Amino acid sequence: MTRLFNTPAAFADEALEGFVAAHRRWVRRVPGGVVRATPTAPGQVAVVIGGGSGHYPAFSGLVGRGLAHGAAVGNVFASPSAQQVHQVAKAAHGGGGVLLTFGNYAGDVLHFGQAEERLNAEGIDCRTVVVTDDISSAPAEESAKRRGVAGDLAVFKTAAAAAEAGLPLDEVVRLAALANARTRSFGIAFSGCTLPGADAPLFTVPEGRMAVGLGIHGEPGLSEAAVPTADEAAELLVSTLLGELPEGVDTPRGLRAGVILNGLGAVKYEELFVVYRRVARLLDEAGVVAVDPEVGELVTSFDMAGVSLTLFWLTEELEPLWTAPADAPAYRKGALGPTADVSSETPETPEEQPEQTTVPQASEESRAAARTVLDALAAVVRTVDEHADELGRIDAVAGDGDHGIGMRRGSEAAYEAGRRALGLGAGAGTLLCHAADAWADRAGGTSGALWGVILRQVGTALGDADRPDAAAVATGVAAAADGVMRLGKAEVGDKTMVDVLVPLAGALGEAVAEGQPLAAAWDAAATAAEAAAKATAELLPRLGRARPHAEKSLGTPDAGAVSLALIARAVHGVLAAKND
């Protein structure tokens, strides 16, 4: 388990601070993550990677010449926010455009996608390539739904080498996409990982058994089998991957492959070498030529005892990119020429965004309502804090168990942003919009992005001109439901927060239309939300990290749905008290 930390909430930030202090020759800190210690060459494409903390050396350890130009670093097992990605990309950009590449997880797709839109709007040519190498997470005919695991390295390395060679953005994107299409990974584990501060692992494996087809965020495997010998593990990994060859290829004989045998955190190097001994023989017997194999920890999951195998099926244009030199803190290959000394003017600490000192003018009625909004945010913080551990436990049944952590970080940041806005004289709408940005930026992950949408839509509906009435609140909540479905691509029945948000909005709108005052209407809406959250226990997830483990979640409600219902009831308490 993870034993050395100060407070769980500060773990990711403090780990990144220590990483930078130990690797100043390669990286420097910028808001949102790290970039190379030396600037991107003028006109060169900047390859920006990223994801949640807890996977070192992914992602910060892969920043350096011949590899990534920058990495956006999120909280533990949570995607970085769109703001973080945008800031890192801006810092890494050298005039040749930006490629964002990351694993296929809902939060990463949301936040990197928003950052891409923002960069393009600012005139920086930006594209994305999503890594989808894990064959256990979706069948071949649905490969676009697969998650990214240790195959990240093959795609990152290809893109970065192409950029280093001076290729234009279109070519870097094409080669990265080709690398992804020709990369396959599969993993096994003997125990789950434990998040900092947690007293139990996210999942357990019975003594003498192993989980087959696991994820890198503590998601449980798809099935179980008896613990194998090292040779048996190698045979399972190789035979599974050779069962899915690149499109149009009937036999592995004569193919050349980059090979990655990856330790997930607690399997030591000597054990990996014992396994690779058999992997190498099996590939040779199959007629596969292993090119520059990598054996070690490349994409980890804290202290998970597990191993994965990746085969990167090379072509004549991909192989030179896979074998090209690289020099990063956690990955070095070949020899690069000398680099310029790091400028003494290079900032060693992030330049924080200047704190906003003015807000739009608001009416006295709206400023009075803003105080109620802040009270509601305070109630949200208390509710989330009270239920954070239980939300994490629910989330860990079929997901990664980080929902409570993310909700705690997001709600606290939203309250603090709201408190500052209120001190500047903000109206209700502006206060909520400030809270929305802070929640999305601090929490990251899917829930961070979606709660940012919820608060912003409600804030837009309330505005700063008048005292908000029940109709304005109902309009805002309805707009929030529409916005979450549009951004998250979820529908009612997918076992997400949408299954609560839609009935919440519907019940609120109906009660307001009947002429009920806001507190009574919200009470009816919160009651509908609670019933809807409970009903998600009987649904099977069709989206997100829980989708590959749908059967495991049957009988357990969705964590995002539960947290939304809890928050709805907490807000009602504030409204009822104000009404009294």
pTM for the model: 0.84
Q: What pLDDT, in 10s, does the model give residues 473-523?
A: 999 999 999 999 988 888 999 999 999 999 999 999 999 999 999 999 999
d(CA 392, CA 398): 11
> What's the gap between Cα 243 and its chain centre?
29
Find, among 165, 151, 176, the residue nearest to 294 by Cα.
151
Q: Catalytic pick from 93, 111, 217, 387?
A: 217
Residue 181 in this model has a pLDDT that exceeds 60: yes
Say whether the peptide bond before residue 57 is cis (omega within 30 degrees of 0): yes
User: Whose structure tokens read 């965020």?
Assistant: 217
Q: What pLDDT, in 10s, does the model give residues 445-471?
A: 888 999 999 999 999 999 999 999 999
HSE of 362 in the Cβ direction (CA atoms, 13 Å)? 29
Residue type, 551: E
What's the Cα-to-Cα distance from 519 to each of 289, 352, 357, rounded to whole Å? 69, 40, 33
CA angle 284, 289, 291 (to 5 degrees): 130
Q: What pLDDT, in 10s, does the model give residues 137-176?
A: 999 999 999 999 999 999 999 999 999 999 999 999 999 9
Give the pLDDT score at 350. Answer: 43
**How confident is the model over 188-216, as a mean pLDDT?**
83
d(CA 242, CA 251): 9
> Which pairs with CB-CB distance under 8 Å and at least 24 residues apart come from 269-276?
269/295, 269/296, 271/230, 271/307, 272/296, 272/307, 274/230, 275/230, 275/233, 275/234, 275/237, 275/307, 276/234
Contact 112, 128 (CB under 8 A): yes
Q: Where are the alpha helices (DSSP H) in 218-318?
A: 230-242, 269-285
Q: Where are the alpha helices (DSSP H) in 295-363?
A: 319-323
Contact 54, 11 (CB under 8 A): no
The pLDDT-based confidence of 247 (bands split at 50, 70, 90) is: confident
Q: Where are the alpha helices (DSSP H) in 135-268?
A: 152-164, 169-181, 230-242
217 tagged catalytic: yes
Find, among 539, 531, 580, the residue nearest to 558 by Cα.
539
Q: What pLDDT, in 10s, does the model give residues 282-332?
A: 999 999 999 999 999 999 998 899 999 999 999 999 999 999 999 999 999
Residue 353 in this model has a pLDDT that exceeds 70: no
The pLDDT-based confidence of 339 (bands split at 50, 70, 90) is: low
d(CA 107, CA 146): 14
